[in-house]
Amino acid sequence: MYASEMAKRGYATSQKQVASETELEVKIFTEITGRLIAAKPEEIGGFPKLAEALTDNARLWNLLFLDMSHETNTLPLELKNGLLYLAEFTRLHTQKVLRGEAEHDILIEINKSIIAGKRTQLDTAKSAEAA
């Protein structure tokens, strides 16, 4: 087998792994964001649903924070710093929402932006795989 063919196969395998990890991230973000959207704190029993969705969202962002902080993370520094900022903002804003001092709409918008970015990443990986 030629070296270029081996390199293509190795790259394709790497792209599939990235795509599957990214697909999982999109799935998790989409599920939690859907729950944040559906939670209506003004309805009877709505606040506990919101609190549960907020808690799960905070856990997800905490995991992202830990991943961005790890020395093996290879994302560009500017992107990591931006994600670290969003993780911290999400943590602080979640506390405000839980205390009744803020709405949760901005958390939904942040998640939607992350989902859009991850979907673009998936499209790019799939295009590279097809090439």
Token reading at 90: 């999400």
15: number of Cβ within 10 Å: 18
Q: Is residue 72 part of a domain?
A: yes
8: number of Cβ within 10 Å: 12
Q: Is residue 122 part of a domain?
A: yes
> pLDDT, tens digit, for every residue of 18-73?
558 889 999 999 999 999 999 999 999 999 999 999 999 999 999 999 999 998 99
Provide the CATH number for the domain around residue 44: 1.20.120
Count: domains in the chain = 1
Q: Is residue 1 part of a domain?
A: no
- State the amino acid at position 103 in one-letter form: E
Closest C-alpha to 107, from 116, 99, 97, 117:
97
Q: How many Cα atoms within 13 Å fall on the side-chain side of residue 10? A: 7
Q: Is residue 102 part of a domain?
A: yes
Report the range out of 6-10, 42-46, 108-112 with the highest average pLDDT.
108-112
Provide the residue range defining the domain that includes 88. 8-130
